[in-house]
C-alpha cells in the first residue's frame, strides 16, 4: 500500500471516529445530570444510533454497491449529520433531543460500514494491513477525550453542557468535506445479479456464519453497560467530572496498542475463533472489576480492557466479513454485520441497560454492583459459545 493511499484512508478513519468519540462517551453524563433524564430516556437517546444501524446500513449498502460512489455518499451523509448535531446541542428536553439525535443517527449509521468497505476495496492485503489504517480511528477517540477535557479544564473559555455535541457537529463538517477527496470507489455490483442486500442475506445459509452473527449480537447487547454506565459510575465513585473524558480515553489508548502492536502479531496465529473469545473474556474481567467498585485506580485501569476487547472483537469481525463475502457485495456484507451488532445488538442493549439501571436506582443513587454483574454472566456464556460452537 503506497503512502498517499495510506494517509487518505487513515485520515478517513481518524475523522470518522473523532466525530463519534466527541459525544459518545460523555453525553450520558449530561442527560442523567443536567437534563435530569431517566435511565429509560437515556437508553432511548443512545438507542437512536443502534436503531438507525438496523434501518439505514443495508439501504446505504444497496445504494453504493449498485448506483453511487461510496465517497460521495459518505460526504453528503456527514454534512447532513452536522446540522442535526448542532440542533441537538440546543435541545433542553427529552423529545427534541430524541428527534435530533435520531435524524443524526440515520445520517451517521451507514458510514460505519461504508468506511470499512471503502478501505477493504483499496487495501491490497486487508488481513495484514487493515489494522494499520483502522488504528487511527482509535487514536481519534483518545484525541476527542483529550480535547474535551482540555476545553472543560481551561479557565479561558466558558464550558457549556452541550460542548460535546457542538464539537461533534463541527468535526462532522470537516469529515464531510474530506470525504470528497477519498479514492474513487464506484459501484461494483454486476448487472443482472440479485440485489446486493439479498445476496448478503443469503450468506445466512452458512451455519457457521449464522452462529457467528448470533453470538456477536448477544455480545453487543452487553456493551451498553459500559457506554451508558461508565461516565456516571466514575462520578459516583469520586472521579471529578471534568477529568472523565480524558480518563475514559484509557480504553482508546489500549485499542491503539491492540491494533498497532498486538493484533498484527497474534491475529493470524490464533484465528478468528480465539480472537473473538479473548475479546469476550476481557469484557468479563472489566465488568468484574467494575462490580468490585474499588480501588478506583483499578476501575479506571480496567477500562483498558474495553479498548483491547473492542479491537479484538469488531476488527476481527469486519475482516471475517470481508473474507467470506463476494467482492461485489462487500458494502452490503459489512452493512449486514453493522446492522446485527451496532444496530440490533446495541439497540437491544440500550433498552436492557436502561431497564436494569432503573431497577437498580434508589433515592440515594445507583446500585452499581448488581448492574455490572449482569453483563458478567451473559458474556461468560458468549465466550464459551465462541470456543465450542464457532469455527473461524
Residue 151: per-residue pLDDT = 74
- Rounded distance, CA 11 to CA 124, Å? 18
Residue 222: per-residue pLDDT = 94
Is 362 strand, coil or helix?
Answer: strand
Tally Cβ neighbours within 10 Å of residue 192: 5
- Rounded distance, CA 61 to CA 330, Å? 8
Residue 223: per-residue pLDDT = 92
The domain defined by 3-389 folds into Growth Hormone; Chain: A; (1.20.1250)
pLDDT in tens, the chain (392 residues): 789 999 999 999 999 999 998 888 778 777 877 777 887 788 788 888 888 888 887 788 778 877 889 999 999 999 999 999 999 988 888 999 999 999 999 999 999 989 998 999 899 888 878 888 998 988 887 788 778 777 777 655 444 567 889 889 999 999 999 999 999 998 865 554 445 567 777 888 899 999 999 999 999 999 989 988 888 899 889 888 778 767 877 887 898 899 888 888 888 889 999 999 999 999 999 999 999 998 899 999 999 999 999 999 998 998 899 888 887 777 778 888 988 998 889 888 888 988 898 899 888 888 999 999 999 999 999 999 999 999 87
Residue 157: per-residue pLDDT = 47
Residue from 21, 167, 25, 143 nearest 88 by CA: 167
Which residues are registered as beta bridge partners of 366? 361
Q: Which residues contact 105 (CB under 8 A, 6 or more apart)?
A: 48, 49, 51, 52, 53, 56
| CA atoms within 13 Å, Cβ hemisphere of 31 | 29
Tell me which DSSP letter residue 38 carries.
-
pTM: 0.78
CB-based burial label for 292 (10 Å; 0-12, 13-18, 19+): middle
Residue from 64, 57, 80, 109 nearest 175 by CA: 80
- Rounded distance, CA 309 to CA 284, Å? 10
Residue 126: per-residue pLDDT = 83
Residue 25: per-residue pLDDT = 75
Tally Cβ neighbours within 10 Å of residue 280: 26
Is 223 strand, coil or helix?
Answer: coil
Cell numbers describing residue 108: 451517521
Residue 179: per-residue pLDDT = 96
Distances (CA, A) of 239 to 44, 58, 174, 390: 26, 41, 33, 40
Residue 392: per-residue pLDDT = 72
Q: What residues does each domain of the chain span?
A: 3-389
Tally Cβ neighbours within 10 Å of residue 195: 14
Interaxial angle between packed helices 368-389 and 207-221, expressed in degrees from 0 to 180 and rounded to the nearest 10:
170
Tally Cβ neighbours within 10 Å of residue 307: 26
User: Which stretches of 222-295 are DSSP H helices?
Assistant: 224-236, 244-257, 263-292
Is-contact 101 48, C-beta < 8 A? Answer: yes
Cell numbers describing residue 98: 430524541
Residue 197: per-residue pLDDT = 66
Residue from 231, 229, 234, 212 nearest 375 by CA: 229
Residue 358: per-residue pLDDT = 86
Residue from 62, 325, 55, 321 nearest 195 by CA: 62
Is 161 strand, coil or helix?
Answer: coil
- Rounded distance, CA 21 to CA 139, Å? 10
Amino acid at each position: 500500500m503506497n503512502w498517499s493511499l495510506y494517509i487518505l484512508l487513515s485520515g478517513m478513519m481518524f475523522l470518522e471516529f473523532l466525530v463519534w468519540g466527541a459525544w459518545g462517551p460523555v453525553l450520558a453524563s449530561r442527560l442523567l445530570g443536567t437534563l435530569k433524564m431517566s435511565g429509560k430516556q437515556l437508553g432511548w437517546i443512545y438507542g437512536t444510533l443502534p436503531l438507525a444501524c438496523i434501518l439505514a446500513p443495508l439501504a446505504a449498502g444497496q445504494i453504493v454497491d449498485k448506483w453511487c460512489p461510496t465517497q460521495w455518499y459518505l460526504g453528503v451523509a456527514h454534512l447532513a449529520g452536522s446540522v442535526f448535531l448542532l440542533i441537538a446541542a440546543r435541545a433542553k428536553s427529552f423529545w427534541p433531543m430524541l428527534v435530533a439525535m435520531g435524524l443524526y443517527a440515520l445520517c451517521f449509521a451507514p458510514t460505519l460500514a461504508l468506511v470499512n468497505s471503502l478501505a477493504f476495496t483499496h487495501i491490497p492485503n486487508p488481513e495484514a494491513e487493515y489494522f494499520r489504517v483502522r488504528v487511527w480511528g482509535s487514536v481519534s477517540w483518545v484525541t476527542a477525550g483529550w480535547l474535551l477535557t482540555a476545553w472543560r479544564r481551561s479557565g479561558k473559555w466558558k464550558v457549556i453542557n452541550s460542548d460535546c455535541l457542538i464539537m461533534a457537529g463541527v468535526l462532522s463538517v470537516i469529515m464531510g468535506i474530506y470525504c470528497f477527496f477519498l479514492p474513487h470507489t464506484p459501484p461494483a455490483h454486476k448487472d443482472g445479479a440479485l440485489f446486493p442486500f439479498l445476496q448478503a442475506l443469503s450468506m445466512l445459509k452458512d451455519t457457521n456464519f449464522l452462529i457467528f452473527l448470533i453470538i456477536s449480537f448477544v455480545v453487543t447487547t452487553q456493551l451498553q453497560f459500559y457506554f451508558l454506565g461508565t461516565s456516571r459510575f466514575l462520578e459516583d465513585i469520586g472521579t471529578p467530572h471534568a477529568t472523565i473524558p480524558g480518563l475514559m480515553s484509557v480504553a482508546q489508548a489500549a485499542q491503539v496498542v491492540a491494533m498497532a502492536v498486538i493484533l498484527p502479531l497474534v491475529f493470524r496465529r490464533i484465528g478468528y475463533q480465539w480472537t473473538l473469545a479473548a475479546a469476550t473474556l476481557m469484557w468479563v474481567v472489566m465488568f468484574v472489576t467494575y462490580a468490585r467498585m474499588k480501588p478506583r485506580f483499578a476501575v479506571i485501569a480496567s477500562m483498558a480492557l474495553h479498548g483491547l476487547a473492542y479491537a479484538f472483537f469488531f476488527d476481527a469481525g469486519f475482516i471475517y466479513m470481508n473474507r467470506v463475502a463476494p467482492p461485489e457485495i462487500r458494502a452490503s456484507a459489512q452493512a449486514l454485520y453493522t446492522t446485527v451488532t451496532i444496530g440490533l445488538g446495541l439497540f437491544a442493549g440500550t433498552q436492557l441497560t436502561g431497564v436494569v439501571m432503573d431497577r437498580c436506582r434508589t433515592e440515594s443513587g445507583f446500585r452499581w454492583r448488581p448492574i455490572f454483574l449482569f453483563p458478567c454472566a451473559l458474556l461468560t456464556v458468549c465466550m464459551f459459545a465462541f470456543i465450542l460452537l464457532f469455527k473461524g
